[in-house]
A and B are shown apart, each in its own frame.
Chain A
Amino acid sequence: MILSDAAIFFGRFHPLLVHLPIGFLLLAVVLAVLGRREKYQSIQPAVSFSLLAGTICAIVACATGYILSFNGDYNEDVLTIHMWGGLCTATVSAIAYLVSIKKISLKFLQTSKALLVTLFIMVALISFTGHFGGTLTHGPGYISSDLLFAKLAIKKQITDINEAVIYDDLVQPILEKKCSNCHNSNKKKGELSMESYLTLLKGGKNGVIVEAGHAEKSEMIKRVNLDPKDEKYMPADGKPPLSEEEKSILTWWIEKGGASITKKVKEAGATAPIKKDINNYLGLQKSDPSEEEALDSSSIYFAQLKVPKVSEQQVNTLKQEGYIIKFINLKPLLLDVTLPENLNESSNSVADKLNKLLALKENIIWLNVSGNNISDTHLVQISQFKNLQRLRLDKNPISDIGISKLQSLANLESINLYNTKVTRQSISILSPLLKLKHMYVWGTGIKKEDIAVSRDSTKIIMGVN
């Protein structure tokens, strides 16, 4: 039987309309039971109205359901049961209505009892029919006590992902969650069932969907990677799409796992990225944040530094006094501090300024005192900022004597000595600082020849080349 598009349109309202008779008829039952009490007698007359409304809706639901039955890829057996269940429900509800308005009376029973019996049969029929309707739409076992325990069970099973069986522990749960609502033995959309390994490999009406070793040729992988607006995109009809991890696990299973039912994760040679995806999918462990953020070892070192807390008031007071203070890491709180350039600064005043900063000495990892008339004596103060990673001393009258004070700065990675009075001695003074990578020495007493003979020539920078 071929139906017009308009008929299909109305047919698709079945899953919506079907809830109206359920509601009306169950309401009638509630009204009838409550109405037996004296207190609620006044609601008695509403019983027959509810039954009438329910009956009419049940007939409409039957009609739309009948039209829909031509259009879905539904399991024939279940469909037949559901259809007859629906018709019986409509019939019994009509009888119940007639009993309620006393057109029919069963002689061997009092009318009120007769109504209750009919209603009881009706409720049984609604439950029966509804159950099979649900099976048609969502697949068998959609509501099952397993659900209450399933999640716990899976997580308990897999403690070591290397030992996990790829199909059983990863692939099957993904398919069950995202695919088999429509692709199961009862509701075979596209003649495809993903309920078991065998039916999955068998494929659907367009043929095989999994080609072992060739993810790019496998229809299943192709479809989930299409543009969501594409007609062939899966899961269809706006159902929840596969996550990136789920896609990558399925792809990897076909590509490297040979779409096997027995292979374990370790046997398929899992690389680090896929392991990460599996871990994320199973929620086993949070992925390593440092890897996620592509941080180098130095950044990780500083991110794990233990430093004292700093109060907002402390920072604000210093800011008002003219220090430029920037937060460059929040947990732990690490600071970048600049003294605005002042070439005429007096020696006492700059000593004072540095002293005030000592309150934050462990938090400050970048310090810029460029052009502040810093002399060798001030470097004793600066040497106390033991966590310094970058230090700018450029454009200051400092010499090798001052530099020798800085040997305690074990974390120093970059020091800017441009336009100072240092000489090649400073190179050897600072060479014990193992983390030091850049030493800017342009405009100092250090000559090109000095760099050439130095062991540390790679880190000494005068300019390009």
Chain B
Amino acid sequence: MCHHHEESFNPFNKDLEIVQKQLDRRAFLTKTSLGLGAMALGSLLGTSHLFGKGNPAVEDAARVETFPNFLPKAKRIVYLFQSGGPSQLDMFDYKPQLEKYQGQDLPASIRRGQRLTGMSADQAIFPVASSLFKFQQYGDCRAWVSELMPYTAEVVDELCFIKSMNTDAINHDPATTFFQTGNQIAGRPSIGSWISYGLGSDNDNLPTFIVLVSKNAGGQPLLARLWGNGFLESKHQGVQFRSGKDPVLFLSNPEGYDGTDRREMLDYLKNLNQLQHDTYGDPEINTRIAQYEMAYRMQTSVPEVTDMSDEPDWVYDMYGKDSRNPGTFAANCLLARRLLEKDVKFVQLYHQGWDQHSDLPAGLKPQCLNTDQATAALIKDLKQRGLLEDTLVIWGGEFGRTVYSQGKLSKENYGRDHHPRCFTMWMAGAGVKPGFTYGETDEFGYNITKNPVHVHDFHATMLHLFGIDHEKLTYKYQGRRFRLTDVSGKVVKDLLA
């Protein structure tokens, strides 16, 4: 037990005063020059501006807010990121014509000398590989889905397919970074951070932006910067929950400590931090104060939301047997639903292992098996609880895969290389058209023939659903204003319900 501070906090503590007197050269120069500048500015502006109007009571509460720019449709989002580049040609983008060209070299008129990765660029032939999997139409919207995704096929009338997604990057890290931050080079804030920065939290007891990575899939590495805050305040960064039984560590009190005076300890710590903030004005100190408080509240809120013992058996059955195994994609989907129920604004799932360069049929099957049922279950579960009304669900990877086989094509085996020119994603829920397909690709599934949707357009549309004009959500850093959509992006109005 630590010592109780009965007396109130005293900022005029002797030791503190000594520290404060130790002004170094840099601090002296900073303070004096800024001070002089401020004085000069003050005299320019006149006293009324310098000291304000003397009446701190603000009449209009909306005066200080900037966002949303218009009435939103979505209140929260769950983004099921399929890392590695799922093969659109074997799952959603049905190309029956391909059988005709099976094994033939991809025509130059289709390939058009476009960039390939170093992994297949030197191939003597680019043999067209039609999908080994059977496709069928489902739902009232008659969407084509392959036999790999039987559960997703059940919910197609809720989904809004975009078959004409395209990206600038051809390799995993830049492509994933591009999708998650709007830029191929690391360092910009992630989508979740931008939304947290623009709209804030709907639940003070849980982080605004939570990340769940499946434990049951290996593959291309994922780095924490994909959910990083970039140059935004660090309180906007994604909080990763561990994929295991204990999603957040050290929430329980250590042995021998009953936690009764933690509140008091935090208050004292807060005062110290506040003092530092008053001296230096670094906003990161405020973030630190807020994070201590958040951690304190998470001691009760996290066990409550992650303890799934109150879920009935039929829920587990709906999400599949993996959902009883914490940290799997299925269990993460279920946890995501629980977080969304608590109004966590942004839940980001990552599932790796979609990078089938070779042995695609054998590789793709388990990927689909591990994700299909839980994905569909999440849609169904959100729908029946009425949460699909204002929750946006997104499914997709960083790019698609080529129509030609990487490596040897045989009757029952092929591989596919990275393909950024076109691939399929879907959205569902808040504000998007259900049972709708947008965009078309050519008969080889190689180029877009109608309604392309670029990553920037996708981001712009996403922000639009949250009531944000993507051109207005900016942050000034190093002398220029940055946006999630950089200098591009158009809202795809046809996707909006």
Binding site for B on A (CB under 8 A): 293-296, 299, 302-303, 309-315, 324, 326-331, 333-334, 336, 338, 390, 392, 394, 414, 416, 418, 438, 440, 442-443, 461-465
Contact = CB atoms under 8 A, between A and B. Distances in A.
B491 A294 contact: yes
A313 B57 CA distance: 8
A329 B71 contact: yes
Given A310-B61, A327-B62, A464-B155, A336 B386 contact: no
A390 B61 contact: no
B343 interface: yes
A396 B496 CA distance: 32
A293 B65 contact: no
B61 A328 contact: no
B293 interface: no
Contact of A303 (B62, B63, B70): B70
A294 B494 CA distance: 9
Main secondary structure of the interface of A (DSSP, over half): mixed
Given A312-B58, A330-B62, A416 B70 contact: no
Interface stretch (B84-92, B173-181, B376-384, B439-447): B376-384
Contacts of A326: 199-200, 202
Contact of A418 (B70, B154, B158, B385): B385
Given A324-B203, A464-B383, A294 B464 contact: yes
Interface of B: 57-66, 68-72, 75, 154-155, 157-158, 199-200, 202-204, 343, 379-380, 383-386, 389-390, 464, 467, 469, 491, 493, 496-497
A420 to B, nearest CB: 11
Contacts of A293: 69-70, 464, 469, 491
A309 B68 contact: no
B491 to A, nearest CB: 6
B25 to A, nearest CB: 42
A311 B390 contact: no
Given A314-B61, A338-B343, A414-B389, A329 B384 contact: no
A49 to B, nearest CB: 40
| 3 A-B pairs closest in CB distance | A440-B386, A463-B384, A416-B386
Contact of A328 (B63, B68, B464): B68
Contacts of A336: 75
B496 to A, nearest CB: 6
B389 to A, nearest CB: 5
A394 B385 contact: yes
Nearest to A293: B70
B68 A330 contact: yes
A300 to B, nearest CB: 9
12 contacts: A294-B464, A311-B57, A311-B60, A324-B204, A327-B65, A328-B71, A414-B386, A418-B384, A438-B386, A461-B383, A464-B384, A465-B157
Contacts of B72: 328
Nearest to B199: A326
A334 B68 CA distance: 11
Contact of B59 (A309, A327, A414, A462): A309
